[in-house]
Structure 1
């Protein structure tokens, strides 16, 4: 039970870090309380989002803020009991979302976003998982001509600046491409560079199977038992105490249960979200589509199912699930995309691990030798898992990093 590295967290980020460390000759143990790919990595819209060149910032226009304040929107729901605990975080998020700071965040994220598809492709090829991935892109759909016109300008600017492929579809062209889309959508932007995953949980499990096939160890364990001892790290697992020279915290929204007791004050918060699967009542969508003015995504999944993923819920991490957002968007999605009866017995609730400056935390801990962090990927954990794993492994093994890791350093919040 002696290893070079123990990686805490078997989501997409932790599994990717384990694979990249293993490829560089490290003996790695992957530890989680559940099997790989069964937490946050399971419940997303399945996008490898190459076109998301600007992070999701805090809205600045008065109309949107007033709509959010009334707490009746489809893309955001907040629980008043959680607001005191989120107040400082939200204030920092608002400050970081000024146009100048948002531009800086986009520049800092570009090296990761720019390599996200290539890094996934490399792992997909090694793991033999091509049947889970489509190279069709995704669509932003719009209900009003004014919103569509604004999106056109933004899309053309982003495509030109970042070398992205985007096709503009009016209502007729959209329905010729996607017959299931209803008449309430007036147009869409088709982003062609991203890829979509038909079963995100299965993709992560496939990456984990590759890790195990190449000699890695996946174990059930308790990350909160991580302790430093004599230049090693120990953690309790189902097979006993494991020791390693280095430890990686890649627990997504639960990373604070490890770094908090060690004395680190990193402003990590969880934005909650839900998904539900439905049978289709119209021809199956060929790619994920976001209802941009209502803030939800409908994506085709394996087994001829449609997955509806909701927007953001601000609530305490351990608060009971609420049906509010699904109840608000289901009638819209039924009319617009032809979702039918529910398939799942209950909605799935997941957490998005978010930092207020919209950058992940990747790099060495400041006060503990051999401790590394890799979490806080906001809405893009699936997208950025493999590229994060590569960057972290390069740093840990002394290779020249493919990009400057300074924007993601853990000590930036001191």
Structure 2
């Protein structure tokens, strides 16, 4: 099987990249060991996060670091032995989170974030899956009035971004979400983002559009990739696929390829879990809701209410656990009448993160025809279509809609 381009990885990043390349007249083979949307893209809070203009940084306040160091937080958990193993990466992340460097990261990410909703809108319309999208924004909820007052005061820092939001006191919040309990004092309703009721279903719909346009999806092992002459070959269940260009869009598994080829890109992993719940009879949740002080997300999904945990630093190979989920669930039941768990065990996902808080998008520095698109951290779902567009523009010689320099792999040497 011969193609113009092979895309390794059928998550939201890989599928979106394949669609944008296909739209520019390239023949594309999309390769994954599983069905589209079954990896990291399967489990997330379902936010197309237009309002997330400041990247998730390492806490710099002594009080915050001390709180997390106790390892009792529902927002962040760590395995002490694993923390020692990744200490150099964490130090680099901490250093990149200084106010000056965080400002650089925010500026670099802004064009991608700004275009995230419109790029999704285009693919949603083409794939005919508008039923999976809600345009209600999401709610950032606060349990204590001092924390809410602090969040409101900090809104002035992002005024220049032109984001739409509404501050909700207790009465306004109850009007939007009558089912919330008294533990919540108020919140901020972010109006620009959209939410997805089935993230895996959205990826599958995009993949269906790709195949309907004569794109080839093949199951295969990305680690079989090899360079042959002026091209690349990967083994699939349908036979060897060859192409002059190959895109590595394997999310947390991208290191299986780039390390083998000699690239020392500091890709770290933040784990996250989710669980679905029923609601007590007569109760409802109309908006995705972030418990800002407890650090988890409640999202209305097709399957039920999805609780998505915060960050866990533990070995990617370790099995899923309920440690952080159990803590978050206790907090969640204080604000929402959740019913029974619907899943036999928690789903575990791996968020691929780089210490400077921006992905790698672009050509590999030392291999002709090798391209990267990974490391989107907490915002893979948000940035899939827009980063796919940027890479497609670079690969086909179009003028990119944004300066790609901040995302180059060469920044790591």
Distance in 2, matches of 1:84 and 1:266, equals 19
- The equivalent residue for 1:288 is 288
Secondary structure of the 1:153 match is helix
Contact 1:8–1:32 under 8 Å retained in 2: yes
Q: Please state how far the C-alpha of 1:269 moved relative to its aligned partner.
A: 1.1
Q: Which runs of 5+ in 2 are unaligned?
A: none
What are the equivalent positions in structure 2 for 1:267-278 lying under 5 Å apart?
A: 267-278=266-277
* CA deviation vs aligned residue, 1:361-396 (integer Å, no higher than 9, x gap): 000001100000000001000000000000000000
What are the equivalent positions in structure 2 for 1:141-152 lying under 5 Å apart?
A: 141-152=141-152
Contact 1:42–1:201 under 8 Å retained in 2: yes
Contact 1:156–1:166 under 8 Å retained in 2: no
Distance in 2, matches of 1:105 and 1:399, equals 25
What are the equivalent positions in structure 2 for 1:58-77 lying under 5 Å apart?
A: 58-77=58-77
Distance in 2, matches of 1:57 and 1:337, equals 29
Contact 1:155–1:166 under 8 Å retained in 2: no
Secondary structure of the 2:388 match is helix
Q: Please state how far the C-alpha of 1:345 moved relative to its aligned partner.
A: 0.8
Distance in 2, matches of 1:348 and 1:89, equals 25
Q: Please state how far the C-alpha of 1:190 moved relative to its aligned partner.
A: 0.2
Contact 2:46–2:196 under 8 Å retained in 1: yes
* CA deviation vs aligned residue, 1:2-48 (integer Å, no higher than 9, x gap): 00000000000000000000000000000001000001111000000
* CA deviation vs aligned residue, 1:125-160 (integer Å, no higher than 9, x gap): 0000100000000010011111111111222432x2
- The equivalent residue for 1:217 is 216
What are the equivalent positions in structure 2 for 1:15-414 lying under 5 Å apart?
A: 15-158=15-158, 160-281=159-280, 283-303=283-303, 305-414=304-413
Distance in 2, matches of 1:324 and 1:301, equals 23
Q: Which runs of 4+ in 1 moved over 6 A?
A: none
Secondary structure of the 1:118 match is helix
Secondary structure of the 1:240 match is coil
Distance in 1, matches of 2:183 and 2:333, equals 12
Distance in 2, matches of 1:146 and 1:330, equals 23
Contact 2:321–2:346 under 8 Å retained in 1: no
Distance in 2, matches of 1:317 and 1:386, equals 26
Alpha carbon RMSD of aligned pairs, Å?
0.8
Distance in 1, matches of 2:10 and 2:154, equals 36
Distance in 1, matches of 2:255 and 2:85, equals 15
Distance in 2, matches of 1:373 and 1:155, equals 35
Contact 1:155–1:189 under 8 Å retained in 2: no
* CA deviation vs aligned residue, 1:56-87 (integer Å, no higher than 9, x gap): 10001111111111111101110112123211
Contact 1:248–1:371 under 8 Å retained in 2: yes
Distance in 2, matches of 1:218 and 1:185, equals 46
Distance in 2, matches of 1:355 and 1:339, equals 35
* CA deviation vs aligned residue, 1:319-365 (integer Å, no higher than 9, x gap): 12221101111111112122110001110000100000000000000
Distance in 2, matches of 1:245 and 1:356, equals 31
Distance in 2, matches of 1:298 and 1:291, equals 8
Distance in 2, matches of 1:309 and 1:365, equals 34
Secondary structure of the 1:115 match is helix
Count how many residue pairs are aligned between Structure 1 and Structure 2: 412
- The equivalent residue for 1:7 is 7
Distance in 2, matches of 1:337 and 1:267, equals 39
Distance in 1, matches of 2:151 and 2:229, equals 56
Distance in 2, matches of 1:301 and 1:85, equals 36
Distance in 1, matches of 2:32 and 2:153, equals 44
| TM-score (normalised: structure 2) | 0.99
* CA deviation vs aligned residue, 1:254-286 (integer Å, no higher than 9, x gap): 000010000000000110000000001252211
* CA deviation vs aligned residue, 1:151-208 (integer Å, no higher than 9, x gap): 11222432x2111101000011101110111111111000000000000000000000
* CA deviation vs aligned residue, 1:190-242 (integer Å, no higher than 9, x gap): 00000000000000000000000000001100000110111010000011111
Q: Which moved more, 1:358-367 or 1:59-68?
A: 59-68
Distance in 1, matches of 2:320 and 2:132, equals 29
Secondary structure of the 1:273 match is strand
